[in-house]
């Protein structure tokens, strides 16, 4: 099967009332683990690469690995998505490489750090839509700013600043109408990376999950029932994965991710794409540390990359089941970019 336009995966998810995990990749082991999990749970899936990932893998390697993934599992709909594109040029590059979907993150300037004005965001997102849609390629945009920094991308907003940059539902309606994008990333208080919250219980001093403005998702869904929303920074940062890392010589402070129940509430209200990166990183790191600690005589990379791949697989399977995409791979006939071109015309 060729890679399918992400728009179709999201449209079908809306019909079926489920969400689809969009998992970040840098290497072969992650891609293989995602595809094995998608195969074993019969899930459509979105594989995404950030600019940092493309730089690390020298672009062509990731492209070929994703093509291999689609070839090995022809019955699984897979979209190949650029995460946090920073300019029209970057999006064009990804499309030329064969990506079936791009994110134009116009919430930040080209430096990936400084917040853009609303007008700048509309202009650059619209430019990408006008370039991508005639080619059948899906476009995700972002309104509002997320906390945290990942792969050098992000405004690095503090907890307090994040609350000032949440997505405004009325503005979201205007943004979607003006840009005609396919998917809208919303800022509701999630952050990229493993450290999502500085919130502590004032009495016990225990870490608390970040306070999410779920009501904004509810409101946007009420205003635009057909708008596909995207939750970024949606790793759950399971304590058991952090514990494995720390048990075998790691040094990660206490932290908290996004509880699965909150993601499921989002999915009930129009969230169709759920971005998860950190959880697979944690699983991989823990598995490798465990081998290094328990079998220090080992030096063949396969001895630790195989358990790493298996640990990531378990995370992907759990997320695919929790988001509801499991069981839906065979629901529809996958589109090509050619089909999608006709759709946009």
**Residue 249 C-beta: closest distance to Zn ion, Å:** 29
CB atoms within 10 A of CB 89: 10
- The residue (of 48 and 285) whose beta carbon lies closer to Zn ion is 48
Question: How many binding residues for Zn ion (CB under 5 A)?
Answer: 1
83 is catalytic: yes
**Residue 24 C-beta: closest distance to Zn ion, Å:** 9
**Sign of the C-alpha dihedral computed for residues 19, 336, 183 and 59 taken in this order:** positive
265: exposed, middle or buried (Cβ count in 10 Å: 0-12, 13-18, 19+) = middle
Secondary structure (3-state) at 253:
coil
- The residue (of 193 and 334) whose beta carbon lies closer to Zn ion is 193
**Residue 184 C-beta: closest distance to Zn ion, Å:** 13
Instruction: Match 């598995």 to its residue by tokens.
Output: 287
CB atoms within 10 A of CB 223: 14
- The residue (of 36 and 50) whose beta carbon lies closer to Zn ion is 50
184's tokens: 């809208």
**Is residue 51 part of the contact set for Zn ion (CB under 5 A)?**
no
301's tokens: 């990379």
Secondary structure (3-state) at 305:
helix
Give the whole-angstrom CA distance, residue 216 versus residue 211: 12
CB atoms within 10 A of CB 122: 19
SS (H, E, C) 49-94: EEHHHHHHCCCHHHHHHHHHHHHHCCCCCEEEEEEEECCHHHHHHH
**Residue 65 C-beta: closest distance to Zn ion, Å:** 21
Q: Which of 83, 105, 151, 277 is catalytic?
A: 83
Query: Which residue in the shown chain puts its C-beta closest to Zn ion?
Result: 232
- The residue (of 29 and 142) whose beta carbon lies closer to Zn ion is 142
**Residue 112 C-beta: closest distance to Zn ion, Å:** 11
**Residue 52 C-beta: closest distance to Zn ion, Å:** 12
- Cα→Cα distances 201→197, 205, 207, 281, Å: 12, 5, 6, 27
| Contact letters for Zn ion, residues 213-252 (x by CB under 5 A) | -------------------x--------------------
**Residue 244 C-beta: closest distance to Zn ion, Å:** 25
Answer for the pair 285, 250: CB distance below 8 angstroms, yes or no: yes
Closest among 152, 54, 58 to 108, alpha carbons compared = 152
- The residue (of 196 and 232) whose beta carbon lies closer to Zn ion is 232
* Interaction residues for Zn ion, span 82-121 (CB under 5 A): none
- The residue (of 77 and 144) whose beta carbon lies closer to Zn ion is 144
- β-pairing, 138-143 vs 183-186, is parallel
- The residue (of 51 and 232) whose beta carbon lies closer to Zn ion is 232
Question: Footprint of Zn ion on this chain (CB under 5 A)?
Answer: 232
For the annotated catalytic residues, the residue numbers are 83
């Amino acid at each position: 099967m060729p890679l399918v336009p992400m728009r179709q995966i999201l449209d079908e998810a809306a019909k079926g009332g489920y969400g689809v995990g969009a998992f970040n990749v840098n290497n072969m082991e992650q891609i293989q683990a995602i595809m094995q999990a998608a195969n074993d749970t019969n899930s459509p899936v979105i594989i995404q690469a950030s600019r940092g990932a493309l730089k690390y893998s020298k672009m062509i390697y990731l492209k070929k690995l994703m093509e291999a993934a689609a070839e090995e599992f022809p019955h699984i709909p897979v979209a190949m998505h650029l995460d946090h594109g920073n300019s029209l040029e970057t999006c064009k590059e990804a499309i030329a490489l064969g990506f079936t979907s791009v994110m134009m993150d116009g919430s930040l300037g080209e430096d990936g750090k400084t917040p853009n004005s609303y007008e700048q965001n509309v202009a650059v997102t619209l430019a990408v839509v006008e370039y991508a849609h005639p080619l059948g390629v899906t476009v995700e945009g972002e309104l509002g700013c997320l906390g945290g920094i990942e792969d050098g991308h992000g405004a690095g907003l503090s907890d307090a600043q994040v609350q000032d940059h949440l997505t405004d539902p009325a503005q979201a309606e205007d943004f979607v109408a003006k840009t005609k994008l396919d998917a809208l990333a919303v800022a509701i208080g999630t952050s990229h990376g493993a450290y999502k919250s500085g919130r502590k219980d004032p009495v016990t001093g225990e870490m608390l999950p970040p306070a999410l403005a779920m009501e904004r998702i509810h409101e946007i869904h009420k205003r635009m029932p057909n708008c596909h929303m995207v939750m970024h920074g949606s790793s759950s940062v399971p304590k058991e994965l952090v514990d494995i890392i720390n048990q075998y010589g790691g040094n990660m402070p206490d932290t908290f991710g996004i509880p699965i129940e909150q993601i499921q509430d989002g999915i009930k209200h129009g969230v169709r794409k759920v971005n998860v990166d950190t959880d697979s990183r944690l699983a991989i790191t823990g598995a490798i540390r465990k081998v290094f600690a328990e079998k220090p005589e080992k030096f063949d990379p396969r001895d630790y990359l195989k358990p790493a791949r298996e640990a990531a697989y378990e995370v992907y399977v759990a997320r695919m089941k929790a988001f509801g995409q499991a069981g839906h791979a065979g629901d529809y006939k996958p589109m090509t970019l050619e089909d999608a071109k006709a759709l946009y015309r």
